Chain A
Amino acid sequence: MKTKTKPKAPKSSGEIIELRLYVAGQTPKSLAAISNLRKICGQDLKTRYHIEVIDLVKNPALARDHQIVAIPTLVRSLPVPIRKIIGDLSDTERVVVGLQIVEPKRA
């Protein structure tokens, strides 16, 4: 009999990763980044992701305050240290490595 290990409840992992995705309006790159990000985070069920999407067209002052040059930019603010990734996140492996997300284990 195969025992299925249930995916652990997020609470028990104790890790919360805060992500902020900076985009500029509804450009193709921005939309792609959003969808890619959701996909990556969806695959990883162990950790809880807190994703915030910031549209710099609506709020340009934030670009200066948060030192954003490239769009899209993904910033992992928690846990420290801060990590930044630029691009539409189509290169999944790079994203994972860059964010230092624990590899989603196959059940």
Chain B
Amino acid sequence: MRPKTKNAKNGKSQPRVHELRPLQKAATGIAGLDEITGGGLPRGRTSIVCGGPGCGKTMLGIEFLVRGALQFDEPGVLMAFEETPEDIAQNVASLGFDIEDLAARKKLYLDYISVEPSELQEAGDYDLEGLFLRLQSAVQAVGAKRVMFDTLEALFSGFSNPGILRSEFRRLFRWLKDQGLTAIITAERGEGTLTRQGLEEYVSDCVILLDHRIRDQISVRRMRIVKYRGTKHGADEYPFLIDERGMSVLPITALQLQHDVSDERVSSGVPDLDALLEGKGYFRGSTVLLSGTAGSGKTTLASSFAAETCRRGERCLYIAFEESPKQVARNMRSIGLDLDEWNRQGLLFCESWRPTQFGMEMHLLRIHKLIEQIQPRAVVIDPITNLIDSAANQKEVYSVLLRLIDTMKSRGVTAVFVSLTGGNEDLERTNVGISSLTDTWILLRDVELNGERNRCIYVLKARGMAHSNQLREFRLSSSGVELIPAYIGNGGVLTGSARLSQEAKEKADALTRQQEAERKQQQFARKRLALEAQVEVLQAELAEIEHEAKLAGVQERKREDELLLDRQRMAESRGSRQD
């Protein structure tokens, strides 16, 4: 309907331009619920929360009121039909909600409405004006903006005239709407209908269904928004839990792979390992999988990373499923890591709980909550294989892991997952294909040779960087973790003492070759000297022959000269006689 304004001039009404106003919402303050509903419950309307017994309907409603009063300055009214306010106050005291205090401060008004069928005889026509009067005075007493009815269905057991009840319900919801009150009514789940008494006929702006099942002896709580008029809402089932801080729902956050990525690198805590990763380490915000068999050194690497994170002054959350934090700290001391120190400085947060205590969804939710609380820059989960229910199917496990990784990535948290593989399985094939979800995969392998078992490590994959493909021997000492290049030769990869002996052998071989070469050199030198001596002798001979040849030549010429002279003389002597 278009609202009309009266034009004063001619008395005719003019239609106002139709304004599009988005649906106003009343924030619940419950972690995750506001995300799924896109802001909270519809303001000024009534929502139904239905479910089986013990599923948390009352809890949700009360948390809505209490947080409304505490966080959003919206006082509330609780009209309770089943439990007295004292009982309710006691029930929620464990959540840290002090209802009586809120009532004293006039932030909350509690009214207990007793409807005893045995007391009431119906004689004639009636209505529920008494309820209305009480509600009215309650709202006025605290200036309430929120109301909760728990549970309105109790009226059905008290009053047997369905016609009267129906019309009074309509009147009630209309009244609530007119007053602009945001209301919640709780209802029992019906067999074929949403609610047993069909309350959704009267008010169905928003219907939330809560579910509580037992699967494999583990309790699993789910929530689903069945209906929410006028708003785009998450339509899936979301796991939720109720703990000492109230209710938390785990929404599926941006599974659109639109996270920001960082070019920054963080050290793994082991310089030799960084050397295998372009010398810089992991990408910040990436996920790293450390997998290997029992005793291969995974926890050591994970702890080194945690310590390194703290050394940089950043917070790290370490979740241990197999060892208690104290045990991990003690074990790491043997390689020179002091985890207790980081604990004391408030940088390292160790959380540990039994994996069999909860189902997968609950684990996920707890981790999510811890991350929200602590805001770490790095998270270590040791080992992640324990999170996986043996009973759950592949798809569910994948979904949980995906959500876990998504939680981390959307916050730019670097995650290290430790994965335990069985001894018989092919090491390079993990249970669920988690390896495809991680960015970096480092494998720890034991190599058995000559009666020894040595640890080896290599980087199987590292997205986005040129990682080394070489195997390294993994050694622990009191000064930390060392990676030694393994011997790679004709016999394959050798580690440990085999490597040492091979190295020694190589050294000896090298020495021998060197000596051989030297000897040969000396031989050549000697030979050369000998030959040079020979050459000298021959040269001397040659010089002599030349000399002789020269002499002979000189003599020959001399003779020739003399002969000539003789002839001349003879000729002269002859000549002179002739006269």
Contacts and interface: CB of A to CB of B under 8 A. Distances in A.
Interface of A: 22, 24, 27, 29, 32-33, 36, 56-57, 60-61, 63-64, 67-73, 82-92, 94-95, 97-98
B120 A86 contact: yes
Given A86-B126, A90-B125, A95-B123, A70 B159 contact: yes
A94 B122 CA distance: 8
Contact of A71 (B120, B121, B126, B137): B126
Nearest to A25: B129
Contacts of A63: 130, 133-134, 137
B133 A88 contact: no
Contacts of B155: 69
Contacts of A70: 120, 126-131, 159
16 contacts: A24-B130, A29-B124, A56-B130, A56-B133, A60-B137, A61-B137, A63-B133, A67-B114, A71-B130, A83-B121, A86-B121, A87-B126, A88-B123, A90-B123, A92-B123, A95-B123
Of listed B124, B136, B155, residue having the most chain A CB within 10 A: B124
A94 B114 CA distance: 22
Contacts of B134: 60, 63-64, 69
B126 A88 contact: yes
Contacts of B119: 82-84
Contacts of A89: 123-124
Nearest to A72: B126
Interface string B136-165: 110000000000000000010011000000
B120 A94 contact: no
Contacts of B120: 70, 84-86
Given A60-B137, A61-B137, A68 B130 contact: yes
Interface of B: 111, 113-115, 119-131, 133-134, 136-137, 155, 158-159
A87 B123 contact: yes
Interface residue SS majority, chain B:
mixed
A69 B125 contact: no
Contact of A69 (B123, B124, B130): B130
Given A24-B133, A57-B133, A64-B137, A69 B113 contact: yes
Nearest to A86: B126
Contacts of A71: 126-130
Given A56-B133, A63-B137, A98-B121, 14 more contacts: A24-B129, A24-B133, A27-B129, A63-B133, A64-B111, A67-B113, A70-B120, A70-B126, A71-B126, A71-B127, A82-B119, A86-B121, A86-B122, A97-B121
B121 A94 contact: yes
A85 B133 contact: no
Nearest to A91: B123
Contacts of B113: 67, 69
A73 B123 contact: no
B159 to A, nearest CB: 7
A63 B141 CA distance: 14
Nearest to A33: B124
A91 B126 CA distance: 12
